[in-house]
């Protein structure tokens, strides 16, 4: 599917059918992930959000297609400013770095230096205006990366302790799980 056609399809009101419509676009077309990455920065926030959602879907359901673009997504992470798209970008990182990620993803991320990504994750985690879903995925991604970067554990625990009284119940619930995960690892 050409990029302009994809943008036009993502620009149509989807109402309650966003998931079904987006899945149909993915399943019925040969999408270029580079186009989706680019469209996830579209000036219309709804288009950017839908493209980012599609990236997450592709990552989860079409790993062979997504695998070559992991480094591109990570490189673009600091530039993402759309709150809804940020949520999907960070969820992708959480899924990629999860202990139960597919072996192709686990092998691919071994080659990646996550230092700059970690910096973005901590920045977004403490940002007061950040969506709680994004913060939760930042926290989970950092916990997932802590075995590889041992300094993360202490920093993340201190950050969680600082945020726990400020954030929502949803944050608190995930923070409890992440703290348990971090304390199990050592």
Selected residue with higher pLDDT from 154 and 2: 154
Beta strands in 88-146 (DSSP E): none
Q: What is the per-residue pLDDT across 98-119, written as a single tens digit (0 to 9) for each?
A: 999 999 999 999 999 999 999 9
pLDDT above 70 coverage of the chain, percent: 92
Cβ contacts of 57-65, under 8 Å, gap ≥ 24: 57/22, 57/23, 57/26, 58/26, 58/31, 58/33, 59/92, 59/95, 59/96, 60/95, 61/26, 62/26, 63/102, 63/104, 63/105, 64/104, 65/31, 65/33
């Amino acid at each position: 599917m050409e990029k302009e056609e994809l943008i036009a399809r993502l620009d149509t009101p989807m109402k309650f059918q966003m998931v079904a419509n987006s899945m149909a676009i993915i399943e019925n077309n040969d999408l270029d992930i580079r186009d989706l990455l680019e469209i996830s920065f579209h000036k219309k926030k709804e288009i950017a959000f839908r493209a980012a959602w599609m990236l997450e879907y592709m990552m989860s359901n079409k790993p062979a297609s997504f695998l070559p673009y992991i480094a591109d997504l990570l490189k673009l992470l600091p530039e993402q400013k759309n709150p809804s798209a940020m949520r999907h970008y960070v969820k992708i990182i959480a899924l990629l770095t999860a202990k139960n990620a597919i072996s192709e993803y686990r092998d691919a991320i071994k080659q990646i230096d996550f230092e700059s990504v970690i910096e973005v994750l901590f920045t977004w985690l403490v940002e007061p205006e950040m969506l709680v879903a994004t913060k939760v995925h930042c926290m989970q991604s950092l916990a997932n990366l802590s075995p590889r970067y041992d300094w993360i554990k202490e920093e993340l625990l201190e950050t969680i302790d600082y945020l726990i009284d400020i954030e929502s119940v949803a944050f608190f619930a995930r923070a409890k799980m992440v703290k348990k995960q971090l304390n199990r690892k050592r």
